[in-house]
Amino acid sequence: MTNLLKNKMSSKILIVALLTIALVGGVFIPTEPAAAAISGGTVAGNAAADLVVNTSGADYNVTFDTDIAATADSLWVIFPVGYTITDGDLTTAAVSDGTIASRILVNGVSRAVNNVTGDAANRKITIVLNAAIDLGTGTGTSFRILTGIQNRTTAGNTGTFTIDSNATAEVEQANVAAVTLTSGPVHHLKVTAASATPTAGADDELTVTAYDQWDNVCSAGANAYTGAKDLTFSGLA
């Protein structure tokens, strides 16, 4: 009798164990949907004058794509260190779709903008749309930022930009290629000699370099200082 009871109990334990394994093994675990990712992002000055150091109200063209369907009603651009972004409400007129102010282009369709704000602390400009729109089906998103940006005062490579949106689980693009800023207007000249201890009566080659007020060399862009120049020295004979 005792052995029979033990056998029955063992059988029940085995059955319960098998059922437990079956339930655990048969549970359907849903997978998370693939996250959308910003890709193909570009940020570029609208004209040469917009890429001069310290330019206030510089215009920038922004484009990007999203690899899969991604519905969003807000998107933003973060500028590199050194840029100054106007804080607060920039008004909808701060952006355009390339032709019409207060709109951006999404998949070839001009879309109305509800608000544009600047975040000085984070060097960020945010665009809020009138309605949520799928950014990921079509030819991409593009717009021009018309106000709210002041370029940094250091010429050369700016460092990368970041583009993102509030689409669910959107992955930002943080490596959007830098732009190259050029110098401001010529502010002063520096003369350097080939030899700091020239021999009396011997030639000594002099180099004259033009700089803007932030000590950027005026060698390229709208304020390039190139070509032959006349230099007159005066003083004691």
The residue extents of the domains of the chain are 38-181, 188-223
User: Is the domain 38-181 a CATH 2.60.40 member?
Assistant: yes
At residue 27, the pLDDT reads: 55
More confident residue, 228 or 18: 228
Sequence-distant (6+) residues with CB within 8 A of 35 are 168, 169, 170, 171
Q: For residues 224 and 201, what is the distance between their CA atoms, to the nearest angstrom?
A: 34
∠ Cα 79 84 88 (to 5°): 95
At residue 229, the pLDDT reads: 74
Q: For residues 193 and 205, what is the distance between their CA atoms, to the nearest angstrom?
A: 6
pLDDT at 163 over 80: yes
pLDDT at 204 over 80: yes
Chain segment 224-236, per-residue pLDDT in tens: 988 777 777 777 6
Chain segment 85-115, per-residue pLDDT in tens: 999 999 999 999 999 999 999 999 999 999 9
Q: Do residues 71 and 132 lie in contact, with contact meaning Cβ atoms separated by under 8 Å?
A: yes
pLDDT at 164 over 60: yes
In which band, very low, low, confident or very high, does the pLDDT at 18 lie, cut at 50, 70 and 90? Answer: very low
pLDDT at 16 over 50: no
At residue 22, the pLDDT reads: 40
Q: For residues 44 and 52, what is the distance between their CA atoms, to the nearest angstrom?
A: 12
Mean pLDDT (the chain) is: 86
DSSP type of residue 37:
B
Q: What's the average model confidence in pLDDT over 208-216?
A: 95
SS3 of 60-116: EEEEEEECCCCEEEEEEEECCCCCEECCEECCHHHEECCCCECEEEECCEEEEEEEE
At residue 70, the pLDDT reads: 84
Strand partners, 72: 133
Q: What's the average model confidence in pLDDT over 44-59?
A: 97
Q: What's the average model confidence in pLDDT over 187-191?
A: 92
Q: For residues 82 and 156, what is the distance between their CA atoms, to the nearest angstrom?
A: 12
At residue 206, the pLDDT reads: 83
DSSP type of residue 200:
T
At residue 33, the pLDDT reads: 55
